């Protein structure tokens, strides 16, 4: 919550400074009003915006019974409410969680992940996302995704307003553009720490009952994303930190948003945890997948 307030305060100050540079006191007042509206939206609506951004489709127990019941059982083991469940029709295997509180949590899973993984590995990934919701990481994750997009819009607005007579760039607007672009990345980097992923991995292993399930899932995710470009994530790199592994291809300047620790280090830490307390959450035989269904059948049903 403290990090969230810092981010919202930083965004407000940034909007006011740019507004003053572009329009004096009137510009600063207009920017302050815009920042207030953006802060309110980021707090209350950022989770829904991120889900829409990635074309996440809600699913019910009737539509995806095994995935729904698995998530329900894992949530019960974590002593938290059942989150809303979403499917993203995307070939790249990945997943993310969002929501400003456990009561408003949501887990979104790509179809590429369901096609690739066994039941145990899916359970490990879902448990990791539930850990983010339980630890209330999802609020800061959604807010930072919104702020990164807002700052990008602000930079474009500054460029448009920077045109003076004879279509010459305004030097102040150009300087602001140079500052705002890396600042957007820096805000995301500051808000999301590497420790957050390690903590969610450890808590996810405790929730599902077997650290190897998540470790194996991470290994498959890292291999599975090769050759699968997530165009939506590439177009919205500020949301990359929300996924369980970095969805970006690493081209252009995407590495500025690389907030995930190395996957091999995450796997090593998971395997070093040793046996978990309590019975595993899913008891299906290893090597089987409930989503390896006959053709023309939903792969997650």
* Phi-psi label, residue 246: left if phi above 0, alpha if psi -120 to 50, beta otherwise: beta
Query: According to the model, what pLDDT value does residue 274 have?
Result: 74
pLDDT-derived band at 222 (thresholds 50, 70, 90) equals very high
Active site residues: 129
Query: According to the model, what pLDDT value does residue 181 have?
Result: 54
Query: According to the model, what pLDDT value does residue 183 have?
Result: 65
Least confident range from 16-20, 177-181, 197-201, 246-250: namely 177-181
Query: According to the model, what pLDDT value does residue 86 have?
Result: 97
Query: According to the model, what pLDDT value does residue 296 have?
Result: 40
* Phi-psi label, residue 57: left if phi above 0, alpha if psi -120 to 50, beta otherwise: beta
The answer to whether the CB of 158 falls within 8 A of the CB of 18 is yes
Output Rg (C-alpha) for the chain, integer angstroms: 21
Q: What is the mean pLDDT of the chain?
A: 78
pLDDT tens-place string over residues 101-115: 899 899 999 999 999
pLDDT-derived band at 144 (thresholds 50, 70, 90) equals low
Mean per-residue pLDDT for 231-255?
A: 77
pLDDT tens-place string over residues 39-63: 677 677 778 888 999 999 999 999 9
Least confident range from 24-33, 85-94, 164-173, 219-228: namely 164-173
Q: How far apart are CA 97 and CA 141, in angstroms?
A: 9
pLDDT-derived band at 170 (thresholds 50, 70, 90) equals low
The residue ranking higher by pLDDT, 207 or 290, is 207
DSSP letters for the chain: -HHHHHHHHHHHHHHHHHHHHHHHHHHHHHHHHHHHHHHHHHHHHHHHHHHHHTT-EE--TTTSHHHHHHHHHHHHHTTSPPPEEEEE--SS--EEEE-SSGGG-EEEEEHHHHHH--HHHHHHHHHHHHHHHHTTHHHHHHHHHHHHHHHHHHHHHHHHHTB-GGGPBPHHHHHHHHHHHHHHHHHHHHHS-HHHHHHHHHHHHHHHS-HHHHHHHHHHHHHHTTT---HHHHH-GGGGGGBSS--S---TTGGGG--SPPHHHHHHHHHTT-PPSS--S--PPTT--TT-PPTTS-TT-
Query: According to the model, what pLDDT value does residue 164 have?
Result: 47
pLDDT tens-place string over residues 81-99: 999 999 999 999 999 999 8
Place of tokens 């074309």: 55
In the chain, what percentage of residues exceed pLDDT 70? 63
Residue 217 has pLDDT above 90, yes or no: yes
User: Which pTM value belongs to this model?
Assistant: 0.75
Query: According to the model, what pLDDT value does residue 174 have?
Result: 58
């Amino acid at each position: 919550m403290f990090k969230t307030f810092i981010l919202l305060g930083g965004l407000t100050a940034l909007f006011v400074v740019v507004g003053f540079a572009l329009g004096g006191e009137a510009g600063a007042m207009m920017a302050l009003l815009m920042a207030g509206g953006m802060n309110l939206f980021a707090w209350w609506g950022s989770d829904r915006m991120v889900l829409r951004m990635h074309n996440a489709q809600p699913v019910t127990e009737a539509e995806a019974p095994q995935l729904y019941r698995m998530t329900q059982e894992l949530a019960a083991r974590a002593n938290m409410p059942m989150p809303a469940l979403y499917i993203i029709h995307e070939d790249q295997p990945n997943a993310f969680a969002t929501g400003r509180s456990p009561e408003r949590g949501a887990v979104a899973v790509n179809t590429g992940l369901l096609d690739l993984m066994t039941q145990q590995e899916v359970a490990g990934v879902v448990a990791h996302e539930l850990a983010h919701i339980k630890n209330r990481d999802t609020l800061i994750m959604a807010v930072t995704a919104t702020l990164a997009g807002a700052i990008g819009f602000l930079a474009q607005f500054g460029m448009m307003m920077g045109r003076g007579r004879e279509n010459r760039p305004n030097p102040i607007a150009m300087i602001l553009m140079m500052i705002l672009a890396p600042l957007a990345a820096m805000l995301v980097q500051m808000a999301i720490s590497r420790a957050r992923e390690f903590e969610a991995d450890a808590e996810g292993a405790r929730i599902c009952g077997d650290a190897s399930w998540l470790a194996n899932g991470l290994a498959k995710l890292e291999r599975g994303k090769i050759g699968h470009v997530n165009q939506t994530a590439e177009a919205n790199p500020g949301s990359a930190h929300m996924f369980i592994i970095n969805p970006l291809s690493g081209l252009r300047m995407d590495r500025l948003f690389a907030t995930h620790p190395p996957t091999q280090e995450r796997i090593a830490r998971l395997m070093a945890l040793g046996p978990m307390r309590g019975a595993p959450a899913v008891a299906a035989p290893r090597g089987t997948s409930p989503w390896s269904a006959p053709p023309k059948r939903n792969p997650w049903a």
